[in-house]
Structure 1
């Protein structure tokens, strides 16, 4: 490991043999390994060991300051600064800079170390608590098992104790925690090479009362740490739970119905946790509850062997209760989705940073995918409810596709340029709602770019200035020619079935002229127009919605759901 970073190392080590003090020196390099070994009589000079690391590879140390090296070395050697056996002098020299690690330790120590005695199955252990300054650094909480004055085993405890996550803080500021466990039991059980302990993870049966396991040590140590950091842990637990509650209330109400089914310890999170990580954590619990419910669902149909009627009723009741909570979670997720779509619509219809309004395509994609039919996308991928909740229930739907490609009409014309050249929202969305009986309805939805003001009333042939109302009426007329169900069943008197036209466009001066040209009536709120065209081949109910009117209507229709979930209604 040394030679991966440094090209050459020099070692000078003093040692005593038969009453004589000797010094052994050697080099260690990539070419020769151990070389230039010398052994000298030193005399009575105090013993010392010197290790010189030379010629570092710049990709490892180019950006390392002497303080950075000191921090890393101190973290590695921290036990030497708090143990009873005392501290060796450690000096770091880098060019003209010199740093005594003992002074650096005093600067980095958050507060005085504190040692307590633990008793585990009649054996005494010591634990030394150390709070280390963690300002500006990632907090790493750990415990170390020590023997013969050395650290033998380190263990990260981040998150293993409720509240011990992220940086901790008290009246003196932020700190990370380290605990050092000592005791004669550890000295007795350490391997000769000091690479571990001859201690079982768990002890059961015959030796359970006398043999000490790591499980026993952990239990006692964690309880002691909880007591030592009590105030800080309780505050962190409180803030973490507030973080969960705020996230669920404002951003993820789908988890509200299952929060009570998540163990309290699992709801103890770092208050600084990101929305993404918290969502993943809660979803993991939701998935686990769903899996358990699915497993129980396969077993619930039949009583278990030797199960009493009362026990079966109790098991069934619990199953139905969990099932109810999950369904509430699914509903909350869907309602939250609606809130997000409404907020996106609100954003899309505003003037953008470039000073222009969004193209029709941006609005179109929010309502339904483009260039697809109802056989190409899932029900959950459409938001027709923005216009009318009833539009979600259709037999066939086509979005931004030529009329000649629709199986619900025998109209095979490809008008030019209107049909073949229709683009984005100049192309309509076509909806047919049919039943087993001859009753049916046709719906045409036409969308224009927000704040578009260059259309001409009654002009449906001029490509650049189409009257969207007249345009939609002509599409409706074309659809009526031989209208059939998706499966090819003829719908009698298709020219007489009701037609519904929705035009989504801002009420600019030109758009208002179009509405007046078609003798439509303003709505009471002034955000749209409505009317009926009783002409031959039309029989159409017409509704013109402004984008503001669409937004207000969608919010009003969903407000009760948002309020019930505690979602902000902005």
Structure 2
């Protein structure tokens, strides 16, 4: 009689196990029982129990449990007592932890055992259930047997809250083979025959041994020239062995690397985490390179080592060393898997090299066509960790990360240099740092100029007539210059394109676009700007200019009608007077400081039709500019200078100011 708090023990089983773990444990126990018997015709039979309720879609019943039968040694008294002992050491030589059976109760409600064993020259039967309270063995019965051979049958049923993830027999068998492949390919011991069937269809069995061993099998081992590697653990070298297999008909599976302990798969992780080019399946042509009879496959690498055997957790779901850097043990899971991934890469090197080449071409095309400002940086960046088919965003984020890292390193070096007390080291290091800073600045400038070219191309397109025969609205053209209903407190300072109108406006302290300044229902102009820091010093000083823009839809000229209430010149004059009269405050609720000498600049951007030109000359007393694409006037009484510019002039002048930069970049 045992005395174990079984419920608490089961509740404390850590992560790393899954619902396949109990089935794997039972199959391993069956194989070990056959090994103990020492027979060559060993047989393990797996029966799948269903819940009797077909799914309305695939008509398949959910899995409710399993029955595992074997013709091994059976539950002798020593085996029975070991089962009744927590952490038994009976199978320790074969990696036994004396705990695996408890994983059955984590996922299934019932565990029933029946067995025939030999005692002296007689056969006896033993049956019992696994307890859920204090005793491991309950309802035990033992009696003489009518049977003439030994063996055991273990049933786990009554699946708990989780659903079994698979229904098809082929899928379940494939998972079991992958988890127990080390048993099937063990060169030191013959693996018993293992078959699986539905309990209600006993004649339709699948042999797991048939998955491998032949060229036409679904699992084929690959030749590896250098299959061993070693890692250092606290100054002690640990050896590892890698065996690589092709898995044909992979469906949605990924190529993986599995760490094995005592011939059982413990962990498996995607190879693409270490070499992204393993993200997709591989293809093997048929005989005589016939593509029509070829097959897709994935690759799975199994890693064996005494170090893994010694480090596996009690539940066999993980290892006692760390996943990432392990300062205590010296070897981490990532270290092992990376080495194994490198070995696998050598096996399919030609295909991986071709995939990497395609990725390099993809990255080169992006930098050449979309991001030439990264050209210098790209020569210093390692792109190996990028996905096999990187998107523009993948490439850009990778480059931005490397750019940031380089900037931080440069700043750190500058700080260290400034704090250095050794003048002899200044010369060479200063030259190197200046070169780094210069490269970063050049990349940023190339990016900025390239974006200007894109903006001007978009702006030029917006001035054209659309498919409907109409010009874009004022709003659509306006948004290219600066978003409507926004101000500079709501968008980044460089998120506008006011440089198209005047380069000095890039440095304005406050910008309001189609938004009244601190007055919900007040008058508004298209764009109002004040405190231009290029021309003047200080903040909100009376001497700083205020700039006002009015934008009109291309080809619109109805504002020049005598009855129009949308006169842009008058709107600017009225707005200037309201500011001079102190009717507006700054966004910080401070008085907008102006006096009689505060300069105001007004700009109207529209198409200069004949109607508009006549209106400006005859009614507004404006003077034409020499190029014929604009008009100007000085309102001396309110210190206001207004220019009326055509959309063509705005575009042409912006292109002219930037032409030399576009030319130098080869994007004109």
TM over 0.5: yes
Tell whether 2:246 aligns with 1:142: no
Residue from 498, 502, 525 that aligns with 1:384: 498
C-alpha displacement of 1:445: 0.8
Cα distance in structure 2, aligned partners of 1:77 and 1:549: 76
Deviations 1:88-120 (A, max 9, x none): 413142866765445566888375443665476
Structure 2 Cα separation of the partners of residues 326 and 30 of structure 1:
67
Does the alignment pair 1:294 with 2:411? Answer: yes
DSSP 3-state at the match of 1:137: coil
Contact 1:162 1:268 in 2 (8 A): yes
- Summarize the alignment of residues 60-459 of structure 1 with structure 2, pairs less than 5 Å apart: 60-61=163-164, 64-84=167-187, 85=189, 86=191, 88-93=193-198, 99-102=206-209, 109=218, 111-114=220-223, 118=228, 126-133=241-248, 137=252, 139-147=254-262, 150-151=263-264, 153-154=266-267, 156=269, 158-159=271-272, 161-162=274-275, 164-172=277-285, 175-182=297-304, 195=316, 221=340, 224-262=343-381, 264=382, 266-303=383-420, 311-335=425-449, 337-338=451-452, 360=474, 363-368=477-482, 378-394=492-508, 397-402=511-516, 420=521, 422=523, 427-431=526-530, 433=532, 435=536, 443-448=547-552, 450=553, 453=556, 455-459=558-562
Please report the TM-score for the alignment, with normalisation by the length of structure 1.
0.69
Q: Alignment length, in residue pairs? A: 525
* CA contact 1:485–1:491 (8 Å) conserved in 2: no
Offset from partner CA, 1:184-237 (integer Å, 9 cap, x none): x56985779795899999999xxx9xxx99999778755543422221232233
State the distance in 2 between where 1:512 and 1:25 align: 106
Question: What is aligned with 1:411?
Answer: none
Change (3 A) 1:479 1:349: same
**Secondary structure of residue in 2 paired with 1:381:** coil
1:542 aligns to what?
643
CA distance in structure 1 between the aligned counterparts of 2:117 and 2:637, rounded to whole angstroms: 110
Taking a change above 3 Å as real, the CA distance of residues 189 and 490 of structure 1, as seen in their structure-2 partners, is closer
Task: Name structure 2 gaps, 5 residues minimum.
Answer: 1-18, 20-103, 231-235, 286-294
TM superposition score normalised by structure 2 = 0.60
Partners in 2 of 1:350 and 1:26 — Cα distance?
Answer: 87
State the match for 2:568 in structure 1: 468
Of residues 620, 624, 633, the one that matches 1:533 is: 633
Conserved in 1, the CA contact under 8 Å of 2:259 and 2:302? yes
Q: Secondary structure at the match of 1:83?
A: coil
Give the distance between the partners of 1:315 and 1:391, measured in 2 at CA.
38
2-structure distance, mates of 1:62, 1:162: 28
Measure how far apart 1:130 and its partner are.
0.8
1: CA distance, partners of 2:441 / 2:391: 26
- Any unmatched runs of 5+ in structure 1? 407-418
Q: CA deviation at 1:334?
A: 3.4
Distance 2:570 2:150 in 1: 104
Distance, in Å, in 2 between the alignment partners of 1:354 and 1:70 is: 63
After TM superposition, the structure 1 stretch with the greater mean CA deviation from structure 2, 451-460 or 277-286, is 451-460
In the alignment, the residues of structure 2 paired with residue 428 and residue 91 of structure 1 have an alpha-carbon distance, to the nearest angstrom, of: 77
Deviations 1:143-194 (A, max 9, x none): 42344xx1264353635655554125354465432222346x5698577979
- Point out the more displaced range, 344-353 or 269-278: 344-353
